[in-house]
């Protein structure tokens, strides 16, 4: 009997093409625009052996029930996998994989650094100022920004992306690197001279704080009002990890009241909305000292292509009876 794979959204080449070239495989792809409607997901997944999902799909017990006992693998197209109920998958013996690649790690690291400079140099604000016809001539105090070279960068989470960001900023811009994680990372320390500290010390010491932890119960609202109050008044917060790591209410309050200088956000609580309530989203949207990008950290051709190949490789390994290298839940 052929293996049926349901794909919740078209992914960049060559993923779908590779799946369809595999023997004894039936590939069913949702071809509608945008996120698959919940009702259609519950209908289309019935009888699937493998689900290829993306981070905007909530894969919970209801989805697994709809699929039935045939579902043995959830291959997530993305680095994160917080959209999947891992406990439920484990209980049912469903293997879950993600798709990190060197290319996607590099893309997110570059995007993180771009946000640092954009916030520090007030790039969006100055662009809007100029386009609005407000520029009447050079002035010694016009739209002053912040320096980055030689300042202190705080990394919260020293995994592949956090390490990449630190490496580039240390060797490219001579930043002092401080970090926190579940435990010290000797390799990371040797590469960039990073200093291991508590979360509170990282917040207190850093001119820029960059978040690179997965979304877990222990990291939800890791950056709250208390944490933000520890940061320097001239500090910048960057989040390219997951929106709920930051308490949005507390962050908006901190930005409005200049408790910190600015923020660069690529991820949000309640995506695709900027926040969980329209009022809070409007407050965030209207701030000049925050730069917002629509979860495009890994949005480069090379990164998304590599992720496409990786998610298929995970499926190939599973079908060959192997444990995929990127298995995150067994």
Name the residues annotated as catalytic.
242, 271, 295
Say which residues have a Cβ less than 8 Å from residue 97's Cβ, sequence separation at least 6: 73, 74, 75, 76, 311, 314, 318, 324, 326, 327, 328
The Cα angle at residue 111 between residues 109 and 116, in degrees rounded to 5: 95
Is the CB of residue 109 less than 8 Å from the CB of residue 164?
A: yes
Written as six digits, the tokens of 248 are 């949005």
Q: Which of 32, 41, 96, 97 is nearest to 66 (CA)?
A: 41
In the sheet with 152-156, reading across from the earlier edge strand, the strands are 195-196, 176-180, 152-156, 208-211, 236-239, 262-265, 290-292
Is the CB of residue 88 less than 8 Å from the CB of residue 58?
A: no
């Amino acid at each position: 009997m052929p293996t049926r794979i349901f794909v919740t959204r078209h992914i960049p080449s060559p993923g779908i093409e590779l799946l369809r070239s595999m023997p004894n495989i039936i590939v069913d792809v949702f071809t509608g625009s945008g996120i698959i409607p919940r009702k259609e997901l519950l209908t289309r997944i019935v009888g699937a052996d493998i689900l290829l999902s993306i981070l905007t799909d909530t894969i919970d017990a209801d989805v697994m029930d709809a699929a039935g006992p045939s579902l043995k693998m959830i291959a997530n197209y993305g680095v994160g996998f917080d959209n999947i109920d891992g406990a439920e998958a484990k209980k049912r013996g469903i293997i879950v994989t993600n798709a990190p690649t060197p290319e996607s790690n590099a893309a997110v690291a570059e995007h993180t650094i771009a946000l640092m400079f954009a916030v520090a140099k007030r790039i969006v604000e100055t662009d809007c100022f100029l386009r609005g016809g407000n520029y009447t001539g050079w002035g010694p105090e016009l739209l002053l920004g912040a320096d980055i070279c030689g300042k202190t960068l705080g990394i919260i989470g020293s995994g592949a992306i956090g390490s990449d960001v630190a490496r580039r900023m240390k060797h490219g811009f001579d930043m002092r690197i401080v970090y926190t994680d579940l435990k010290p990372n000797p390799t990371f320390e040797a590469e960039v001279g990073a200093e291991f500290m508590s979360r509170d010390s990282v917040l207190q010491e850093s001119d820029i704080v960059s978040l690179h932890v997965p979304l877990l119960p222990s990291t939800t609202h890791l950056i709250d009002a208390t944490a933000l109050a520890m940061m320097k008044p001239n500090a910048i917060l960057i989040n390219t990890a997951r929106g709920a790591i930051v308490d949005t209410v507390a962050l908006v309050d901190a930005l409005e009241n200049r408790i910190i200088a600015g923020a660069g956000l690529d991820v949000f609580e309640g995506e695709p909305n900027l926040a969980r309530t329209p009022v809070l989203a409007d407050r965030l949207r209207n701030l000049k000292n925050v730069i917002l990008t629509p979860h495009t950290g890994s949005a480069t051709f090379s990164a998304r292509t590599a992720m496409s190949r990786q998610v298929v490789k995970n499926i190939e390994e599973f079908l060959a009876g192997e444990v995929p290298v990127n298995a995150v839940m067994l």
